[in-house]
Amino acid sequence: MKQYNLSEIMKKAHQLYKNARAKYPTFSDALKRSWKSAKFNVQVTESIKAIDAEKEVQKAKEQEAQEQAQIRSILFNAELEAQRVKREAEAKVERMRAEIAARKAGITYAEYQNRLSQSMGYGCSSYCGD
């Protein structure tokens, strides 16, 4: 049950009756208007509270979405960094394998690279620098 301030309602009814006799010729009319006004004020207050609660819920959802986006961003960046490290490690392993193959062949790594380039049709790998 809603609580109304009866004192305020009666004060308003007396003011309406006293100051607006043309609009409210009887005290009954003024009291009805005062009650209507009090009920409307309670309804407006409840609506404002409901709207504020909805705004808070929406704000919390937006905050949650922003935090989730930050988490996804961190995970994405970590995954990119892991892929970069993996590529670097694979390149290092490939170079080590090539160095091992060059040692087994009894030549330097540079000579091994030259032979590979020539066998693939790239020439002698002497860059002229344009």
Residue with tokens 């030549």: 107
Q: Percent of the chain scored above 90 by pLDDT?
A: 67
Q: Whole-prediction pTM value?
A: 0.52
Whether the CB-CB separation of 5 and 39 falls below 8 Å is answered with no
Helix (H) and strand (E) counts in the chain: 3, 0
pLDDT digits 0-9 by tens, 29-44: 999 999 999 999 999 9
